[in-house]
Chains A and B, each alone.
Chain A
Amino acid sequence: MTYKTKLGEVDVQENQVLIFENGIPGFNKLRKFALVTRESDDPIQWLVSLEDELIALPVVNPWLVCIDYSLNLSKNDIEELQIESQTDLKILSILTIPKENPGETTINLLAPIVINLKNNKAKQVIQEESPYMVRHLVKDEIKRSKSILENSKTGSE
């Protein structure tokens, strides 16, 4: 089916429609989203609303930015998304991109989007007791991740 989205008209198969049963904080009435990939934006993908063509969120695999990222899913989250296996999960973090200053982009590591690929149920998980914040500077996290990688290389030699 073709949907009008913030990225223009997008073809989405019914089995690719993601269902956020409780919406996303700030967009509580929106239930149906899709993950859209545009080659030119790689590694960033788009979580686009299929019900409001003004709403699209840029998302990225958090481990690409923060190599030692960790995530705690509560029993509540696991039951809500009916998660049976960790391998069914896709985890994405939302980016906040300042209009005039993309170099100052931040990533929300506190509240990632968790998708169960088995049933397409998804939610933005709000982690309690988390060391992470809503805004981490992407460039700083990448720098930190690179130094972790380099240290681990020298350590193994």
Chain B
Amino acid sequence: MSLLVISRKAGESFLVGNEVEVKILKIEGNEVKIGITAPLYVKIYRSEIYQRIVEENKTAAQVDVENLKGVIPSD
């Protein structure tokens, strides 16, 4: 892995590999609007959502498989 830091202005873009283009659309205060052009098989997720699901899956997998009493309320 490598870390590359580059500066871009609104309206400018850069390529990731041959197929993914990332364009800075708009900069407003501390928010940046980004447009990504990529093939369908390239998955794009907001990092914090993906990370949240990773953590939740790992927590869910620590379950005790012998005791599911009371998990789904029956009354």
Contact = CB atoms under 8 A, between A and B. Distances in A.
Q: A and B bound?
A: yes
Interface of A: 6-7, 22, 24-27, 40-41, 43-44, 46, 54-58, 60, 64-65, 75-76, 79-80, 94-97, 99, 102-103, 105, 108, 110-111, 124, 126, 128, 134-135, 138-139, 142
Contacts of A25: 50, 53-54, 57
Give the contact-size bracket for chain B: 20 to 34
Contacts, number: 96
Nearest to A48: B65
Interface SS, A side? mixed
Given A57-B57, A94-B57, A80 B71 contact: no
A96 B59 contact: yes
Interface of B: 40-41, 43, 45-46, 49-50, 52-65, 67-73
Contacts of B73: 103, 138-139, 142
